[in-house]
Structure 1
Amino acid sequence: MNVNITAGVFTLIAAISSFTVMAQTSSLLNASFDVARETFAAVNPKFVEYWQQQTGQSIKIDQSFAGSSRQAQDIIQGKKVDVVTFNQVTDIDALVERGILAEDWAQRLPHNSSPYYSTITFLVREGNPKNIKDWDDLVRDDVSLVFSNPKTSGNARYSYLGAWLFAHQKFNGDEAKIREFVGSLLANVENFPTGSRGATVAFAQNGQGDVLLTFEFEERNILASPEFQDQSFEIVVPPSSVLAEFPVAVVDKVANERGTQELATAFLQFLYTPDTQRLLSDFNYRVRDPAIVQEAATRFDSLKLINPTEVLGSWREIQNVHFVADGVLDQLQNTPRS
């Protein structure tokens, strides 16, 4: 792990030394997922400052935020994005399938081009009045849920997969029982906003639902926000949940057109540097750098993280089985519940 990150930093230095100012566009557009606003509001100025110090060039990083799948669709429809910092591989695969991004994107950076990760936990109201402890509790008749739409949000697909993987473990792979469990969970969802930000607003501001399912880092950031401190929300960390790795990639078609390939690559490599890993950890992401992991060890609860690809096949297989039109997700949502 140390070797990979160090190699990435050396590559970053090499990219800077070979950077030709006149040949490059001095701005980047980063498309990211809905609840990464605060993260990149902090990361981007650090990189701009770093780049200025290393090259003498002033650059600008523009940002776009929306549900990860919505971002991918916008890029497919022609939005000129230089880099993506998404929350699910399927949305990058959609770009690869259309020739917008190279097949080898995951091999270009350490940890399959995922510099940080998280999981799905449960945000509940003060005192945990419904006594939520595990995924089992989310299918009870007296519990209502809020999470974003799995059709437009990578965050929500992780919530869906977290429920599926829990049921897969509980029912020893019995698909009929797994479908019944996940269908019951979906039937308990009171609101399916397009993106994760909308889900947070529905739960925290509008008072909808007993439980918000979203990324652990987002829930921790909600607790720390002055906007919500008076509500005394609590986080429930289940014994097991889904591993949510956050992939990053250069959008090759756009970066080659705009001459931003080196700058875009350097920006993504910057996410692996120790200072940036520490900053990401401060925003409650789980990170890769061993020293930063050790520093933050006491802040994160221990739980079993299940990698979806180790149970359900590749991300493309998961997408084609669960999230395409008339896939398992659609089938479960369209099944009447008694």
Structure 2
Amino acid sequence: MYLKLSNTSLKVGSALAIAVLVTGCNPISVTATATDTQQDISLLNVSYDISRDFYKDYNALFRANYQQEHPDSKIYINQSHGGSSKQALSIANGLQADVATLNQESDMNLLVEKGLVKNDWQQAFPNNAVPYTSTMVLLVRNGNPKNIQDWSDLARNDIDVVMPNPKTSGTARYAFLGAYGYGLHQFKESVEAPDKTDDFIKKLLANVVTYDNGARAATTSFTQRGLGDVLITTENEAHLAAKQFAKGQVTIVYPSYSIVIANPVAVVTAVTEKGGNTDAATAYLNGLWDLSAQELLAEMYLRPSNEKVLAAHQDTLRNIETFDPVSIFGAWTQVMDTFFVDGGRFDQLARVGK
């Protein structure tokens, strides 16, 4: 897609240039030339890897509503996508995001620590600023030839696993914690004494054939490169693969016990207050709780926070047993320090070769 910039759109151009250089992603952009009689507003939404399909449609929905309410203004939304933690780090390093729509609280906390997002960001929007959730599922080859039914099968000697890298991808951390939480649940262990769980996770990680930087790259490795017998991924990504870019090639397996993925959003006020875009950025995120946006989330296989909308889509968004990672592992700062710092439990358990 080509991008046309006027002299009044230099902020967007700079942001997009940084987005390409820092994240290595192609921003999804819709811009136009400003006129002397209209006020043009450009927002940059920096988001995690596999949200691009939803936001592509939501941006069009929001723009139509915003233009109707503000006929004298034009609003344009630019996108940047990558691994959630990589995206948060890009913002911390200068990427001029107006809003951050990530998939892990710890990534948002980094922006708070840097003074880019306000401390009370969770109180700025409903449901602690989480408009939707998801969960982790297993994507297998069509017909499930290896008969993979649950997390436990991923530790078998005959299984090759594909997942993103927990050091760069929030989705990958949820994948690891989903399997780990299953182990604690299955073996009736605690985080403090996880002997059987650690042994299970060692075997699972020994089966991993590739750690991609982000969830979409892992999907590509599984569906297009033909790597692995199973992909650990989010529910929405699995459905998109099964219905669109790998139709007829894959089957979704719901584990018996999985993790809740919260997807927080926040205005990057350090950027919007300088650019005068705080009101527009706030309206953009508030719109995620509109009924039309909640319906769109469900249609894109994301679990809307509106319980009535979620209940109406139980044919595709199954009612399964899940757990909140904070209730099992503690606050996200504790989770990161325990599992994902250099030399943490993930590194210790992943050192065992297949």
How far the C-alpha of 1:177 sits from its partner, in A, is: 2.3
TM-score if structure 1 supplies the norm length?
0.89
Aligned residue for 2:247? 229
Aligned residue for 1:184? 203
**8 Å CA contact retained: 2:183, 2:197:** yes
Aligned partners of 2:304 and 2:226: how far apart in 1?
A: 32
Per-residue deviation, residues 58-112 of structure 1 (Å, max 9, x unmatched): 1100000101011011111111001011111111111112222111111211111
Aligned residue for 2:42? 27
Q: How does 1:17-96 map to 2 (within 5 A)?
A: 26-56=41-71, 57-96=73-112
Aligned partners of 1:162 and 1:299: how far apart in 2?
A: 20
**8 Å CA contact retained: 2:148, 2:154:** yes
2:309 to 289, 292, 295: 292
Aligned partners of 1:195 and 1:25: how far apart in 2?
A: 33
**8 Å CA contact retained: 1:153, 1:194:** yes
Q: How many equivalent pairs are there?
A: 313
Aligned residue for 1:165? 181
Amino acid in the other structure paired with 1:306 = F
Runs of 4+ in 1 over 3 A off after TM superposition: none
Q: How does 1:140-151 map to 2 (within 5 A)?
A: 140-151=156-167
Counterpart of 2:281 in 1: which secondary structure? Answer: helix
Amino acid in the other structure paired with 1:104 = D
What is the root-mean-square deviation of aligned Cα atoms in Å? 1.5
Q: Structure 1's 269 and 337: CA in aligned 2 closer, same or farther, altered over 3 A?
A: same
Q: Please state if 1:271 is matched with 2:285.
A: no
Tell me whether 291-300 or 117-126 shows the greater mean CA deviation: 291-300
Amino acid in the other structure paired with 2:220 = V
**8 Å CA contact retained: 2:163, 2:211:** yes
**8 Å CA contact retained: 1:146, 1:191:** yes
Counterpart of 1:131 in 2: which secondary structure? Answer: coil
Aligned residue for 1:114? 130
TM-score if structure 2 supplies the norm length?
0.86
2:141 to 125, 132, 135: 125
Q: Please state if 1:304 is matched with 2:287.
A: no
Per-residue deviation, residues 183-225 of structure 1 (Å, max 9, x unmatched): 2211111111111111011000111000011000110111110
Higher relative contact order (CA 8 A, sep 6+): 1
Aligned partners of 1:183 and 1:256: how far apart in 2?
A: 47
Gaps of 5+ in 1: 1-21
Gaps of 5+ in 2: 1-36
Tell me whether 183-192 or 198-207 shows the greater mean CA deviation: 183-192
2:344 to 320, 327, 331: 327
Q: Looking at secondary structure, tell me which structure has more helix per residue.
A: 1
Aligned partners of 2:77 and 2:66: how far apart in 1?
A: 11
Aligned residue for 1:251? 268
How far the C-alpha of 1:25 sits from its partner, in A, is: 6.5
Aligned residue for 1:212? 231
Q: What fraction of aligned residue pairs are identical, expressed as a percent?
A: 39
Q: Please state if 1:200 is matched with 2:216.
A: no
Aligned partners of 1:240 and 1:40: how far apart in 2?
A: 29
Counterpart of 2:100 in 1: which secondary structure? Answer: strand
**8 Å CA contact retained: 1:146, 1:209:** yes
Amino acid in the other structure paired with 2:264 = P
